[in-house]
A and B are shown apart, each in its own frame.
Chain A
């Protein structure tokens, strides 16, 4: 199977889980992009987000596996304890180098490597969180020609992450929760 031609990235930390859930719940059953999500989680708590969502949404929600080809119409989560990167040949790559912004997986790391691999075929959305992960990553996505969106800090449960991202990314569009959800609803 050929890799997905477009990817949509979601980066979220504290306070982002429910919105991510609403986003993927509102997805149509078929869409052409691959959706790749980094949410900071503690490797000590083996939270089975993927399994829970697979049951709840009656569609498979995957863990991004090392060396796997990124396929269209799939939803992937970054595994806890490893950085998730994207290779130029559109496969996943895991790495356990130092945490970035105290985080591993780090949103910056995914966004930067995804932008390198997918250039203008990459859309990145940054949500609620209590640190500044994602700010540099969004810059690079934009720099490589991709589109960048940030959750409105007014609606974010934790506004630090979106605020930092807005300060570092004048060109980002700021979205309300309903705009974010409707973006996923309308995916084709």
Chain B
């Protein structure tokens, strides 16, 4: 519905909220793109019937509100085998290289509700690499991490997921990997064995392991250039020699200085390899 324009929050008000949150919580939204963040905050105000003063009060005084706010601010849309051609490319171009390692550690950063992680697990399994792999799925949003851990998705979503899966030139049927129960599809234990989900904030937390492949897709568009740079440094530090960095369809390393330490493996799908 049309609303009065005067009810829109201003950038100054947005700044106040960001500063408040930064000062009294672990959440630091300073590096998020302002136009997008402003819409997210506006949406929360509209849904909750709050104004900016209410919001600041809630952040300060209501237990659990900071978490709620972060969960609502983040955009969590995801699907299995999102951009199927990207997954086909991983299978063809990257996995043969990964096969030369005796053990593989993989990080899906900003994994949302886990679909990307289970997709990677299936892909690795089909290339006979899953047994020697361990996948860490992390996200800032504790709610999506809980969903990811369960590995249960509504059956009605599986049609799209199956289509995507087939579009990767997959050898099997996606149904081989889950059990349907009533409205839900539960991914099999075999696929879930070598996965750990946990909360991690790319803006403030540090490196926690060394990986042969980092997948951070559709997360960096929400960050400004400076925060992107910081996160790329974190990824660089977290990658083993000749490790791979995979970004989303609209995310590229090419305008960053750190590009000089990487080689482009696939330009269209933004797959890079650390070479220095």
Contacts and interface: CB of A to CB of B under 8 A. Distances in A.
Given A88-B11, A97-B75, A136 B35 contact: no
B251 to A, nearest CB: 7
- Main SS class of interface, B: helix
A85 B250 contact: no
A158 interface: no
A94 B255 CA distance: 16
B192 interface: no
A94 B2 contact: no
Interface residues of A, number: 26
B2 A66 contact: no
A87 B38 CA distance: 10
A93 B2 contact: no
A43 to B, nearest CB: 10
Interface in A131-146: 135-136, 139-140, 143
Interface stretch (A27-35, A51-59, A109-117, A120-128): A109-117
A66 B253 CA distance: 12
Contacts of B250: 65-66, 79, 82, 94
Contacts of B75: 95-97
Contacts of B3: 136
A67 B250 CA distance: 10
Given A66-B250, A66-B251, A136-B2, A117 B218 contact: no
Residue with the greatest number of chain A CB neighbours at <10 A, chosen from B3, B35, B221, B255:
B35
Contact of A143 (B5, B36, B39): B5
B34 interface: yes
Contact of B33 (A79, A85, A109): A85
B56 interface: no
Interface string B26-58: 000000011110111001000000000000000
A3 interface: no
Contacts of B40: 97
A79 B250 CA distance: 10
Contacts of B8: 112, 140
A6 to B, nearest CB: 18
Interface string B198-226: 00000000000000000000100110110
B62 interface: no
B5 A95 contact: no
A136 B5 CA distance: 8
11 contacts: A65-B250, A67-B255, A85-B39, A88-B11, A93-B36, A93-B221, A95-B33, A95-B221, A96-B75, A97-B75, A113-B38
List 4 A-B pairs, minimum CB-CB distance, nearest first: A85-B35, A143-B5, A113-B35, A95-B36
Given A67-B225, A88-B34, 8 more contacts: A67-B228, A67-B255, A87-B34, A93-B35, A97-B75, A117-B35, A136-B2, A139-B5
